[in-house]
Amino acid sequence: MDINLHDISELELSPYSVFSEGEWARLRADTPMTLSEHEINSFRSLNDFVSIEQVESIYLPLSRLLAYYVEGTQTLHHSTKKFLGRNGSKVPYIIGIAGSVAVGKSTTARLIQALMARWPASPKVDLITTDGFLYPNAVLEAEGLMRRKGFPESYDRAALLKFLSDIKAGKRSVKAPIYSHFFYDVMPAQFVTVDQPDILIVEGLNVLQTTALSKEAKAVPFVSDFFDFSIYIDAEEETLRRWYMERFMRLRETAFRDPGSYFHKFSTITDEKARSIATDLWENINRENLRQNILPTRPRADLILTKGQQHRIESVALRKI
């Protein structure tokens, strides 16, 4: 029998099942609320609104889903080791979180970390950002890459892959570099130590990025090859632009006022000049990175959280199994 493709809806062809906030909220079941409103507010990044109601309707069902996924993966690892006759170290479950500048990745990462750490089994949940694996400013300046900061080529990809490989191998006390947004640079000789967590959350712009290889090139792993689950936080481009501009202007009144801040110079100029600079940074750096490198990775995510104009998550898309 011939199938008329026009009779098949996009929804049927989509690799995702899409839920409204209300539909997703019903999947919470009896997952308990373990965070207070004060704690939720402490996880918020600047200019990123999240309510206790959204934690209940979006993040608690997600925590329940992840509990099933983590348990299933751990069972699979145990069965595989039993089959191979090996003991070995425990294998951490790694979650990647991707999305544009200003979309709220850090807030989501911290919320998920807190909820997962309060599961009944009290797992050890660590969080790192890939900012620490950016090349130092001195290297970026020498290579002419300062205005490509955040693009794939601005990261020490080999160091990031080595870090993730060591984590997956169950190694002890694996170090990740620390990045300071205040100084806008990787901090020399400063590290965070990740010591055999049960779960590791990796948050960054390009964590779902793949690399185009020539036929002669040696196959190398992608960062996402180490992920057990991945989340992409999405919003319309114009909405992201507005959020970025609003955050930049608010930072002028807060962190930028500190004379030690890399961006202190932006606190002493006029609002008009500041908006012009922010527009340039968005249009020629962040928007280009979004279009070229970040947004194309969205279809690779296991879960897509789509936000509306007020930072509220309006829909959840879960990859079909």
Our count of domains for the chain comes to 1
* Position 262 in a domain: yes
Sign of CA dihedral 274, 242, 233, 213: negative
pLDDT of residue 3: 45
How far is CA 98 from each of CA 93, 180, 274, 283, 290, rounded to the nearest angstrom? 17, 19, 28, 20, 11
In a domain, 2, yes or no: no
With residue 108 as reference, give the H or E element that holds it.
helix 105-117
Cβ neighbours around 66 below 10 Å, total: 21
pTM of the model: 0.92
Task: Label the pairing between strands 125-129 and 199-203.
Answer: parallel
At 249, which helix (H) or strand (E)? helix 237-252
Beta strand 16-20 with 313-319 is antiparallel
Looking at the domain assignment, is residue 4 inside a domain? no
CATH number of the domain enclosing 15: 3.40.50.300
pLDDT at 214: 45
**Residue 116: inside a domain:** yes
282: helix, strand or coil = helix
Would you state the pLDDT for residue 192?
A: 96
- pLDDT per position in the chain (321 positions), as tens? 444 545 555 556 789 999 999 999 999 999 999 999 999 999 988 778 899 999 999 999 999 999 999 999 999 988 888 899 987 777 899 999 999 999 999 999 999 999 999 999 999 999 999 999 999 999 999 999 999 999 999 999 999 999 999 999 999 999 999 999 999 999 999 999 999 999 999 999 999 988 654 455 556 789 999 999 999 999 999 999 999 999 999 998 888 899 999 999 999 999 999 999 999 999 999 999 999 999 999 999 999 999 999 999 999 999 998
Q: Range of 172's domain? A: 10-210+217-319
50 located within any domain: yes
Q: How far is CA 73 from the centre of its chain?
A: 21
Alpha helices in 18-85 (DSSP H): 21-25, 37-43, 52-54, 60-84
Query: Would you state the pLDDT for residue 9?
Result: 55
- Helices then strands (H, E): number in the chain? 11, 9
Is 85 within the bounds of a domain? yes
Residue 3 covered by a domain: no
Note whether residue 202 is domain-resident.
Answer: yes
* Residue 183 confidence (pLDDT): 95
